[in-house]
Amino acid sequence: MNLSKQEYLQWAEDRGKVAIVDTESTGLNGDYNSLLVVSIKPFGKEITSFVVTRPGDDRKLTKDAIEFLRQFEVFVAHFGKYHDVPLLVSRNVFHRLPAWQPRYEIDTWLFAKKQLKLSRNSQAHIARWLGTKEQKMDLSPQEWNEVLAHPKKQLPLLVARCESDVKTLEEDYSIMRPYMMDTGRRQLV
């Protein structure tokens, strides 16, 4: 049976196989940086967040988050093709955990870049433009700097931001999904 992209996404959503994913990390690269928070929101369901107990020691977080992600067929992330998924895979390889690769990825940043004509493609800008109920939480540079200096105090703030991101992203995805055309097998957008 050959399904169109829209039919497949509807099938995956109806069966709880779509996960909205966001990560927060100490930086952009999987070799010099580590994960701090991974928030996963099964489409239409509650968020599950995985948080480090100590920044720099993300083995358990990586293992638990990826184990949870294995149940999903489709991952939705903003800039996920270039950051969230490669970072998760990098940390997984570093910790020598069982091999893992998402089946299908929808990257709302890539969709916006290739299919929309916006002045910016950031998640915050897209959410403002679409007027979604949930808006991306902003953190000041000082708040980011405080995360590593005072993790017990600041990590809950980072969790709140990550969870805000997946809520916003779910709304953005829901609005944009009907406009996403078939673009290939593995990389949906």
**High-pLDDT (> 70) share of the chain, %:** 95
* CB count in 10 Å sphere of residue 168: 26
Over 80: is that where the pLDDT of 188 sits? Answer: no
- Lowest model confidence (mean pLDDT) among 35-44, 78-87, 169-178, 180-189: 180-189
The residues near 70 (Cβ < 8 Å, ≥ 6 apart) are 100
Q: Is 95 exposed, middle or buried (0-12, 13-18, 19+ CB in 10 A)?
A: middle
- pLDDT 10s digits, 127-182: 999 999 999 999 999 998 898 899 989 999 999 999 999 999 999 999 999 998 75
Indicate the pLDDT class of residue 185, thresholds 50, 70 and 90: very low
pLDDT greater at residue 17 or residue 100: 17
Residue-range domains of the chain with CATH: 5-108+116-178 (3.30.420.10)
Angle, CA of 97, 98 and 104, to the nearest 5°:
115
